[in-house]
Structure 1
Amino acid sequence: MKIFISGSNGFTGKYLKKVLIEKGYDVFCGSLRCNDPNEYYFNLLDIDSMNSAFKTIGKIDFFIHLAATSFTLASDYEIELNNKIGVKNLMRVLCKFYPNYNIFSSSASVYGNAKGALSEKSSLNPTTTYAKSKLFLEQEVLISGLKSIVVRPFNYTGIFQNDNFLIPKLIKNFKEKQDLIRLGNLDIKREFNDVDDVVRIYSDFLNRADLFTEKGSVFNIGSGKAYRIGDIVDLLCEISGHKINVIRDEKLIRSNESQELRCNIEKLASIGIEPCSGNINSLLKKMLNN
C-alpha cells in the first residue's frame, strides 16, 4: 500500500513517517528538504514539483496532507501564501492524480471562541489568520470531490517540537533552570496531547476506508481534557523541583485568542478509535527527561 505524506520533515510528519514505516507501509514523503531515497521535493507553491512527485511514484493509496505554515512561527502573509494559495495548487494536483483516499489536517482553531466541549457539529468561527486558512482548506476539500477525512487536532506537543511553541518553551526553561519566564495569558485553557497519540490516530484511519467520503468526513482529534496554562507551570515546578517566576508579558497576549479549546471525543470514540489520553503529567515527565 502506497502512502504519501506531505510535510514529512515537519514535527508531526517525522513521527507519522516512523510509525507507518514500522507498520510495513510503503511510505513516500514530500518536503522542501529531501534527505532519504523515498523523499521528493514537494513545494505547495510550485505545481511542477508536486506533479513530478506524483508522476514518479504512480498511483497513491493514501495521501496525508500535513504541510502547512504554522501560526506560531510565521507572519500573516506567509500563512496566506502557503495555507491558501498553496492549498489551491495542491487541490488542482490531487484532482489530477486522484489518490484513492486522502487525509487533510485542519485545526481545532476553526472553532474560535466557542465554549464547552467542542464537537464536529459546533459552530465554526475562526478568529486568527491561521484558523481562517484552515477553514479555507476544509472548504476546498468539500468542493474537490476527493474521498477524504478532515481531522481537527486540538493542541498537541512532544519531544523535538520547536521551542517557539508553549510547552517546549516551558520545558527548555525548566531544563536550563531559568529564574524567570515571560508568558502571555496564564488563564486560557488548552488540551496538550501527546504527538504519539495523534499519529496513532492518523494510522488508525488507514484501516477505515469506510469513513472516507467525497465531502470530507470531519473528526476531532483530542482527549477532552483542557489545562490552564498557569497550572501547567505549577505542575512543571512540582515535577522538576525547580521554581520559576512568571512575568506576564502583554506583548504575548493575543486579543482574539480563544479562552478555552476542549474536544468532544464522542464521534472518534464511536467509531472504535481510541482518543488521546490527555495524560499531561506523563507527557511533561517524558519531555523533561529527554
Structure 2
Amino acid sequence: MQRTLITGANGFVGQLLCRRLQQAGDHVIAASSPKSGHAPFANETIGCDIRDQESVDRAIRQAEPNRVVHLAAITHIPTSFEVPQLTWQTNVMGSINVLEAIKRFAPECFVLFVSSADVYGAAFKQNVPLDEHAVCQPQNPYAASKLAAETAFGEYFRRGIRGVVARPFNHIGARQSPDFVTASFARQIAMIEAGLQDPVLKVGDLQASRDFLDVTDVCHAYERLLKLSSASAEYPRCFNIASGRSHRIADVLDTLLQMSNAPIAVEQDPTRLRPSDIPYAIGDSQLLRWTTGWSPSISLNETLQELLDYWRGQVAAA
C-alpha cells in the first residue's frame, strides 16, 4: 500500500486529491495547518506549518511516506502582492523545508511538486500554446515564488531526490474560493437568485482568455504523475497540465448567466482588475499525454453547471 502525504490537504485541490487517492487504495496522510483541523478524506491528519522546519520534519518522520504531493502554498495572486514576505516564505522556504525533510527522513520518497502555469508569465504574449521549453517570465510574486521553488526542486532532483514538477493551468470547480474568478461569478449569481444581492454582478477584466480545466481532471493528472514513482525508465521532470483550449472570461460568464433565469446586469469593479495581468494563456500538454496517457475528460459546460449548482446549495444552506 502506498503511503501518500499531501501538504495543503484541506485546500480546494487537496481535499479532492485526498479522496481520490484514498479511494484508489492509498493510505493518505494529510498535512495541513493546525488551525485547519482534521482533513475529511484522509486516513491520518498531521498538523504542520511548512514555514517551520521542525514542524515539517515531525510530519515526515511521523508519516513515513513513500510519496509526497506538495500542494501547500499561497496561491491567490492579489494576496501575493499584498503580503509578498508571507508568499515567499510559504512558497519557497516552505518547499525547501519539505525537500530537506524528505532528504533526511524519507530519501527514497517520490515527490510531486505542484507549481503553476503562471510561471510562464509574459511568455504567453506570444499567443501560442506554450510547452515546457518556453522561457518563464513571471509577472507577479506568486508566479515568481513558484518558479524559485521549481529551481529548488530541480537542484534536489539533481542530487538524487526522486520526483516531478507539475504546472497546472487554471483549474476550477466546486469548493473553490470565491476569490477566484469563476467561483466569484457563480456565487454572485446564486446570491442574486436567492434575493441576497442586488441583481448586479461585479467583474474584473472579462477580455482575458484562459486555459480552464476541471479540478477533477487535474487531480487525475496528479494521480498519473504519481505512478511515475514506480517507473523503471527515465522520465521528464516537468509537465504542463492543460486542455489546449483558451476561453475568454466574458464567454465563461455568458455561459453561467445562461444557466440562470434571473435578470442580471454586469458591472466592472476596478478593485477586481489585477496588475500585470496576461491577456491570453493556453498550454501544450503533449508531454504529459505521451508520458502518462492522461487527457482531460470533463467539458467546461459540465464544470460550470456543477460550480453554479454547488454555490446554489451553499447559499441555500446559509
TM range (shorter): over 0.9
Counterparts of 2:295 and 2:132 in 1: how far apart (Å)?
14
Equivalent of 1:256 in 276, 279, 283? 276
Paired letter, 1:67: A
Aligned to 1:166: 181
The answer for unaligned runs of 5 or more in structure 2 is 311-318
Per the alignment, residue 46 of structure 2 pairs with 40
Match of residue 6 from structure 2: 5
- CA separation in 1, counterparts of 2:290 and 2:214? 21
Unpaired runs of 5+ in structure 1?
none
Distance in 1 between residues matched to 2:233 and 2:129, nearest whole Å: 24
Do 1:120 and 1:219's aligned partners in 2 also have CA atoms closer than 8 Å? Answer: yes
Rounded to whole Å, the distance in 1 between the matches of 2:282 and 2:76 is: 19
- Asked whether the equivalents of residues 175 and 288 of structure 1 are also in contact (C-alpha less than 8 Å), the reply is yes
From the superposition, tell whether residues 280 and 243 of structure 1 become closer, same or farther in structure 2 (CA, over 3 Å): farther
Cα deviation code 1:170-207 (max 9, x no counterpart):
00111122511222211100122111111111112222
CA distance in structure 1 between the aligned counterparts of 2:111 and 2:202, rounded to whole angstroms: 40
The separation in 2 between residues aligned to 1:139 and 1:153, in whole angstroms, is: 17
Are 1:96 and 2:116 counterparts? Answer: no
Distance 1:224 1:212, change over 3 A: farther
Indicate how the Cα distance of structure 1 residues 124 and 235 shifts in structure 2: closer, same or farther if over 3 A, else same.
same
Q: Which structure features the higher share of helix residues?
A: 2
Aligned match of 2:69 = 64
How far apart are 1:213 and its partner, in Å?
6.4
Contact 1:63/1:99 (<8 A) preserved: no
Match of 1:148 among 156, 163, 168: 163
Instruction: Write the distance in 1 (CA, Å) between the matches of 2:38 and 2:226.
Output: 25
Q: What is the distance in 2 between the residues matched to 1:213 and 1:137?
A: 22
CA contact (8 A) 1:221 1:276 kept: no
Percent sequence identity over matched residues? 27
Q: Within 2, Cα distance between the matches of 1:277 and 1:243?
A: 32
Contact preservation (8 Å) 1:117, 1:224: yes
Aligned residue number for residue 56 of structure 2: 50
Cα distance in 2 between the residues matched to 1:64 and 1:212: 21
The CA deviation string for residues 236-289 of structure 1, in whole angstroms up to 9 with x for no partner, is 111223342222223322231111111112111112422224611111111222
Q: Indicate the residue corresponding to 2:151 in structure 1.
A: 139
Distance of 2:74 and 2:54 partners within structure 1: 20
CA distance, structure 2, for counterparts of residue 35 and residue 282 of structure 1: 30
Two-structure CA RMSD over aligned residues (Å): 2.0
- 2:313 aligns with none
- 2:218 counterpart residue number: 198
Structure with bigger RCO (C-alpha 8 Å, 6+ apart): 1
Instruction: Please say which of residues 186-195 and 243-252 is displaced more in the overlay.
Output: 243-252
Question: 1-side partners of 2:185 and 2:52: how far apart?
Answer: 36
- 1:99 offset after TM fit, Å? 4.3
> Matched residues in 2 for 1:213 and 1:55: separation?
28
Moved more, 70-79 or 199-208: 70-79
What whole-Å deviation, never above 9, does each CA across 1:28-73 have from its counterpart, x for those lacking one? Answer: 1111134166111111121111111222233x21111000012246
Alpha carbons of 1:212 and 1:128: their partners in 2 closer, same or farther (altered >3 Å)?
farther
- In 1, distance between residues paired with 2:242 and 2:98? 27
User: If the length of structure 1 is used for normalisation, what is the TM-score?
Assistant: 0.93
Q: Does 1:106 align with 2:109?
A: no
| Mapped partners of 1:63, 1:274: distance in 2 | 20
Distance change >3 Å, CA 268–CA 14, structure 1 → 2:
same
SS of the equivalent of 2:176 reads: coil
Q: Which region of structure 1 is more displaced relative to structure 2, 2-11 or 273-282? A: 273-282
* Kept after mapping to 2: 8 A contact 1:149/1:211: no
Kept after mapping to 2: 8 A contact 1:72/1:164: no
Greater alpha carbon shift after TM alignment, 142-151 vs 90-99: 90-99
